[in-house]
Amino acid sequence: MKLQLKLVTPITTVFEQEVDGVSLPTQMGQITVLPNHTEIVSVLTAGELIVRNDDKQFPLAVSGGLVEVNKNTLYVLADSAEHAQDIDITAAESRTQQLEQDLKERTDLDLNTYTLLQRQLEAERAKLHVAKKWHK
């Protein structure tokens, strides 16, 4: 038996197929969803999402969103999702450094701007982690 995965971002459908399982980052911690998983709803956090199918792994960097498991279907509504092999490490490193510098040096940030920059930094760090782990 397989698990139906529907992984979408505001821009595109990233995965829509039957898979063996998915590991993903949530506010409850890293979880693995397998066929016949109990129903849950959780918040997706920035990190590594791994789709497993037919003894293959498909790693992605994801950030923000919602996760729902219902009737053997995993719905992942992500703010962003990028396959490991598509991540530009140099660009992600540069963006991470810029965001770190902005957060460190700018003292005039309101709470909303600070929170937005912090989330962007978490997303870039997740991309870097996934890219460095999976790029050969």
pLDDT in tens, 22-73: 999 999 899 999 999 999 999 999 999 999 999 999 999 999 999 999 999 9
Whether 136 shows a pLDDT value over 80: the answer reads: no
pLDDT digits (tens, 9 = 90+) for 85-134: 999 999 999 999 999 998 888 888 888 988 888 999 999 999 999 999 98
| Phi, psi at 96, each rounded to 5° | -60, -45
Alpha-carbon gap, residue 130 to 109, rounded angstroms: 29
Work out the widest C-alpha separation in the chain, in whole angstroms: 54
CA distance 109 to 4: 42
Q: Which amino acid is at 26?
A: T
Q: How far, in Å, CA of 118 to CA of 55, rounded?
A: 36
* 98: CB partners within 8 A, 6+ apart: none
* Rounded distance between C-alpha atoms, residue 127 and residue 88, angstroms: 9
pTM of this prediction?
0.90
